[in-house]
Amino acid sequence: MNKYKEITEFADRRALFFPTAEIHSALSGFWDFGPMGAALRRKITELWRKEIVKKVDSVEIEGCVILPKQNFEASGHLKNFVDPLVQCKKCHKIFRADKLIETETGKEVPEAAGTKEFDGIIKKNNIKCPACGKELANVKKFNMMIGLSVGPVSKEYNAFLRPETCQNIFTSFQKIYKSSRVSLPLGISQIGKAFRNEISPRQTLVRLRELTQLETEIFFNPKKINEVEEWDRYKNHMLRLKLLKEKDTKSFSCEEAVKKKLVSGKLVAYYLAITQQFFEKCGFSPENFRFRELEDKAKAFYSKETWDFEVKSEVGWLELVANNYRTDYDLSSHQKVSGVDLSVVEDDEKFIPHVWEISMGLDRIFLYVLENSLATRDNKPIFKFPYYLNPLHVVVLPLVRKDGLDKKSREISELLKERFDVKYDEKSSIGKRYVIYDQFGVPLAVTVDYDTMKEDTVTLRDRDTQKQVRIKINKLPEAIEKFFSGEKIEKLGNIIK
Amino acid sequence: MNKYKEITEFADRRALFFPTAEIHSALSGFWDFGPMGAALRRKITELWRKEIVKKVDSVEIEGCVILPKQNFEASGHLKNFVDPLVQCKKCHKIFRADKLIETETGKEVPEAAGTKEFDGIIKKNNIKCPACGKELANVKKFNMMIGLSVGPVSKEYNAFLRPETCQNIFTSFQKIYKSSRVSLPLGISQIGKAFRNEISPRQTLVRLRELTQLETEIFFNPKKINEVEEWDRYKNHMLRLKLLKEKDTKSFSCEEAVKKKLVSGKLVAYYLAITQQFFEKCGFSPENFRFRELEDKAKAFYSKETWDFEVKSEVGWLELVANNYRTDYDLSSHQKVSGVDLSVVEDDEKFIPHVWEISMGLDRIFLYVLENSLATRDNKPIFKFPYYLNPLHVVVLPLVRKDGLDKKSREISELLKERFDVKYDEKSSIGKRYVIYDQFGVPLAVTVDYDTMKEDTVTLRDRDTQKQVRIKINKLPEAIEKFFSGEKIEKLGNIIK
């Protein structure tokens, strides 16, 4: 069984994630996250705050998902955020033209190609409707934004669900710059939902209609693209780059990447290094990831330079982050449509800042963290999450739920909750519970037995070695801290198993 | 100047919150939160997780905001989630009938009243269009959900933005119950956006079209409504209740409330106590809050018993939480429409669990935290947030930005970031920076001066007393910890001011 299948089955069985409103006939492309899934996502988000937001000295904002139509006139999404669709003349089924061509011919055509190019390829390769075999109509560009009518009167769309969270960042940049005691380079981050009316949502969390982004937009003076305060600390950091003109991924130091002009400047190399470090902390290995340089046609319409951070997953190379050099595209466009001056003054010079974007997809990162943490024991999946990402630190288990063992366990659970993420469980045999929480990826189990009642000790069990030690209850919080600082379980108490 | 005006002006000046896409002609009822605003909201959310989610032993999930139409056929929102609107026959302006009647007659009519009742009152009081003075048409019920079309074909609404986050909780209850090793009473919580197509959004964050809810739904066996494990710890907790038949708010212990049958059972009293405790931790005083008992007509259509938690604010009594006894309404309705069995078996008995709801509005809580923390110094607003809610713990300030003081400050800032929420600021005079961060509500300031460079000490300044002490850099983290544990500033170093 491949890992992807194993994960989706486990996810369904243990409610890590499942189709939204599943009990009704749910719409495809929407997924909800159950207790363990949501907890893992919060841990990834915390790590993002620590490793990206804090490191690049970014502020964080929180904005609405519904934005007025005018925003998307300015941003270009009304015109450019389109998918190429082709409909069968006979059975009226609709397909993504680029995906259809890829399936039928094995050739990749960028989704941003022109309709005539698509029509030409379809004609040349004599591609017919895969459903009924009849002729296909001409390719049309379909806007992927979801429109809405706000207010009781309007029947036309006067607003859209944002297709990317960064739009709030661009429209509020000037306000934040002027009021929040900050200077360039200024990072502004946001976590939130984005929405895309995909024609063919697929592979659970890989292509969604409602997704969660962790975005950071860094505003900087383009003349200072080679000024990085932290350069000395990062210049030797090795980046995994898959260049457009090379077949294989190679390692370059940040310094080399700048000298060979593989990137637009030191700032770019620095932000790529920060991004890569985040994933190293997620436990990903260098041989399984790369920054892929994108050709012009494949880039988003607003980007001058794009490096997709990709991981080698069971479903192929999977993009987790779009790193885009958006230049002054967004601020200039918003300035033009709104009439509001979005320039800044620095060193007596007035200019519109440029933007480097680190746009992460939480859903795909979540999915790949599961894949990367998946191991097998006795033919069952278990998750070995890296320390930072453990959704639960400890589970507290009474040997049996009687004679006060359950009450004592709940007390210990309350005690540990103050410092750790803890769950109490009294159902099923103790052996079965160990197996279940190993699967959930919980690194430590505390067991309360009859000796606990006599001598105030419990057993502490390590998921990975399955070793157990006996330990005083009042030493427990400290022992758990030590374990997570790297101490071996056998150093924490008297080994009993 | 009243507090509400002072807050909104400060919020605008310092980008705590501002209209979404403000540079364009923004839609009303949508607000974005800048760095300090978003940080305060995260602190409130953390406190909610600690004081409500963990205390009631709830799991937390994360679901989509777009839900299929069928969900709202089941939930009753398609039929019942309506506002009474009245349109002028002449100028076609639209008004909320209940609000219009209140303005014109001073009388409150519940928004859930029938259209005929509204028409009768309008006729009897001879109410005309407030805009042009002409005759009003009959009152109509307008559905407040925002509809949308998902997929490339559909032109009809096949989905809606959820008007309350709890809908994901009801549809996933059975899956979570079966897969997540839990038992009744089972709390399921969610933080997320909800959407209401209000005709008249008003008073900034008071009535929004896009809002954030912190919701907890507790599923329990109705036969066990008087079984509360924690009862002994809570039975003497004093609840502030404004009974339907009383004019004033009075204090009742949980035990009294149960004995006098003011609430449906011990579970209800216990959850009200937990809710009230959360607000006590937010720094709210008992004389400024109450649980208001709602009459039948004023309750939401799904509720058997409702206690609105309200605070005495500058804009009047303001509802922050709806506490609803939703019974088995939701699970039964979803079961009926979906055909999926949502009952559980406990003690050999099959039944549909009942639900107690704690539905909090984050935006209003945020607004009232600002109001409640607002003080004035030298005619300028300063915010004295309670410890738990401080968006920033410390600001690090070089006396001047030269001679290495700036570099040293940034190093100290990095050091402190590992344990605290920290900001570095080198702009403006030191005195001006103190004033600004007092306003932002930052309790401590670290100043780096020329003595720092000689003897590795800094000054630590307390916002509230404005006292300063001199302290070794390596003692700083520990001193800050002590300060937040209640130690006075003068005990932490040599006082210099």
**pLDDT digits over A230-284, tens only?**
999 999 999 999 999 999 999 999 999 999 999 999 999 999 999 999 999 999 9
Write the CATH number for B100: 3.30.40.230
Distance CA A118, CA B405 (A): 61
pLDDT of residue A278: 97
Distance CA A299, CA A303 (A): 6
Two tokens, residue B401: 């930005």
> Is residue A233 domain-shared with residue A302, that is, in the same domain?
yes
**pLDDT digits over B119-132, tens only?**
999 999 999 999 99
- pLDDT > 70 in chain A, percent: 99
pLDDT at A13 over 80: yes
Cα of B404 to nearest chain A Cα, Å? 14
> Is residue A269 domain-shared with residue A237, that is, in the same domain?
yes
- pLDDT confidence of B154, banded at 50, 70, 90? low
| Residue that wins the pLDDT comparison between A215 and B26 | A215
Q: Do B26 and A68 touch (CB under 8 A)?
A: yes
pLDDT of residue A1: 56
Cα of B194 to nearest chain A Cα, Å? 11
Whole-number Cα distances in Å, B427 to A135, A181, A306, B15, B260: 67, 7, 34, 18, 61
**Count of CB contacts below 8 A, A vs B?**
228
**pLDDT digits over B306-327, tens only?**
999 999 998 899 999 999 999 9
**Domain final residue, candidates B319, B340, B373:** B373
Specify burial of residue B370 (Cβ count, 10 A radius: 0-12, 13-18, 19+). buried
For residue A309, which phi and psi values (nearest 5 degrees)? Answer: -80, 120
Distance CA A61, CA A214 (A): 11
Query: Which amino acid would we find at residue A438?
Result: D
**Domain final residue, candidates A96, A112, A143:** A143
> Is residue A343 domain-shared with residue A418, that is, in the same domain?
no
Q: Do A436 and B150 touch (CB under 8 A)?
A: no
Assigned domain for B381 exists: no
Residue B423 contacts residue B434 (beta carbons within 8 Å) = no
Sign (positive/negative) of CA torsion A484, A485, A488, A489?
A: negative
> Is residue A316 domain-shared with residue A252, that is, in the same domain?
yes
- pLDDT confidence of B111, banded at 50, 70, 90? confident
Mean pLDDT of chain B: 94
Sign (positive/negative) of CA torsion A67, A73, A78, A81?
A: negative
Quick count: other Cβ atoms within 10 Å of Cβ B351? 15
Cα of B184 to nearest chain A Cα, Å? 13
pLDDT of residue B330: 97
pLDDT at B365 over 90: yes
B-chain residues within 8 Å CB-CB of A74?
A: 24
Two tokens, residue B49: 């997780």
* Mean pLDDT (whole number) for B461-475: 94
Q: Do B168 and A427 touch (CB under 8 A)?
A: no
Two tokens, residue A83: 């998918």
A-chain residues within 8 Å CB-CB of B26?
A: 68
- Nearest CB to B38 within list A23, A61, A142: A61
A-chain residues within 8 Å CB-CB of B167?
A: 21
pLDDT at B451 over 90: yes
Q: Do B179 and A34 touch (CB under 8 A)?
A: yes
- Nearest CB to B41 within list A22, A30, A62: A62
Distance CA B101, CA B119 (A): 10
Cα of B459 to nearest chain A Cα, Å? 21
- Return the bridge partners of B470, or none: B459, B494
pLDDT of residue A297: 81
Q: What is the 3-state secondary structure (H, E, C) of A275-313?
A: HHHHHHHCCCCHHHEEEEECCHHHCCCCCCEEEEEEEEE
Distance CA A161, CA A267 (A): 32
Assigned domain for B387 exists: no
A269-273, A384-388, B334-338: which range is least confident on average?
A: A384-388
**pLDDT digits over B31-42, tens only?**
999 999 999 999
- pLDDT confidence of B113, banded at 50, 70, 90? confident
**pLDDT digits over B210-255, tens only?**
999 999 999 999 999 999 989 999 999 999 999 999 999 999 999 9
> Is residue A472 domain-shared with residue A334, that is, in the same domain?
no
> Is residue A328 domain-shared with residue A214, that is, in the same domain?
yes
For residue A53, which phi and psi values (nearest 5 degrees)? Answer: -60, -50
> Is residue A198 domain-shared with residue A277, that is, in the same domain?
yes
Assigned domain for A379 exists: no
A-chain residues within 8 Å CB-CB of B63?
A: 20, 32-33
**pLDDT digits over B28-84, tens only?**
999 999 999 999 999 999 999 999 999 998 999 999 999 999 999 999 999 989 989
Which chain A residue is nearest to residue B24, measuring alpha carbons?
A338
DSSP B9-74: HHHHHTTSEEETTTTS-PPTT-EEE-HHHHHHHHHHHHHHIIIIITTTTEEE-B--SEEEHHHHHH
Assigned domain for B386 exists: no
Test mutation, B10, B16, B23, chain A, max A CBs within 10 A:
B23
Cα of A339 to nearest chain B Cα, Å? 8
Cα of B160 to nearest chain A Cα, Å? 10
Residue A426 contacts residue A437 (beta carbons within 8 Å) = no
Q: Do B152 and A146 touch (CB under 8 A)?
A: no
* Mean pLDDT (whole number) for B358-368: 98
**pLDDT digits over A410-429, tens only?**
999 999 988 899 999 998 99
Quick count: other Cβ atoms within 10 Å of Cβ A428? 12
**pLDDT digits over A283-324, tens only?**
999 999 999 999 988 888 888 999 999 999 988 999 999 999
Assigned domain for A278 exists: yes
Write the CATH number for A351: 3.30.930.10
**pLDDT digits over A91-145, tens only?**
988 999 998 999 999 888 887 788 999 999 999 999 999 999 999 999 999 999 9
> Is residue A321 domain-shared with residue A180, that is, in the same domain?
yes
Write the CATH number for A460: 3.40.50.800
Nearest to residue A353, comparing CAs of A222, A263, A224, A228?
A222
- Nearest CB to B181 within list A18, A94, A425: A425
Whole-number Cα distances in Å, A87 to A91, A116, A207, B151: 8, 15, 21, 14
Q: Do A66 and B180 touch (CB under 8 A)?
A: no
A-chain residues within 8 Å CB-CB of B176?
A: 15, 34-35
Q: Do A35 and B176 touch (CB under 8 A)?
A: yes
Q: Number of structural domains, chain A?
A: 3
Residue A454 contacts residue A404 (beta carbons within 8 Å) = no
**pLDDT digits over B388-435, tens only?**
899 999 999 999 999 999 999 999 999 998 889 999 999 899 999 999
Assigned domain for A384 exists: no
Cis peptide upstream of residue A185 (ω within 30 degrees of 0): yes
> Is residue A136 domain-shared with residue A176, that is, in the same domain?
no
Q: Do A59 and B35 touch (CB under 8 A)?
A: yes
> Is residue B153 domain-shared with residue B259, that is, in the same domain?
yes
- pLDDT confidence of A378, banded at 50, 70, 90? confident
Mean pLDDT of chain A: 94
Two tokens, residue B342: 């949502």
- Nearest CB to B334 within list A23, A150, A183: A23
pLDDT at B152 over 80: no
B-chain residues within 8 Å CB-CB of A20?
A: 63-64, 66-68, 168, 171
- Nearest CB to B38 within list A38, A60, A85: A60
B-chain residues within 8 Å CB-CB of A330?
A: none
What range does the domain containing A460 cover? 392-495
pTM of the full predicted structure?
0.94
Question: Cα A142 to chain center, whole Å?
Answer: 26
Two tokens, residue B140: 């109509």
Assigned domain for B102 exists: yes
Q: Do A32 and B199 touch (CB under 8 A)?
A: no
- Nearest CB to B148 within list A18, A146, A425: A146
A-chain residues within 8 Å CB-CB of B82?
A: none
What Rg, from alpha-carbon coordinates, does chain A have? Answer: 26
Cα of B425 to nearest chain A Cα, Å? 7
Beta strands across the sheet bearing A422-424: A422-424, A394-398, A444-448, A457-462, A468-472, A494-495
Let me know the angle formed at the C-alpha of B364 by B358 and B366, rounded to the nearest 5 degrees. 105
DSSP state, A207?
B
Quick count: other Cβ atoms within 10 Å of Cβ B130? 13
pLDDT of residue B1: 56
Two tokens, residue A114: 């022109």
> Is residue B89 domain-shared with residue B35, that is, in the same domain?
no
> Is residue A212 domain-shared with residue A98, that is, in the same domain?
no
**Domain final residue, candidates B343, B373, B403:** B373
Quick count: other Cβ atoms within 10 Å of Cβ B208? 23
Assigned domain for A261 exists: yes
Does residue A248 come out as left (phi exceeding 0), alpha (psi in the -120 to 50 range) or beta? beta
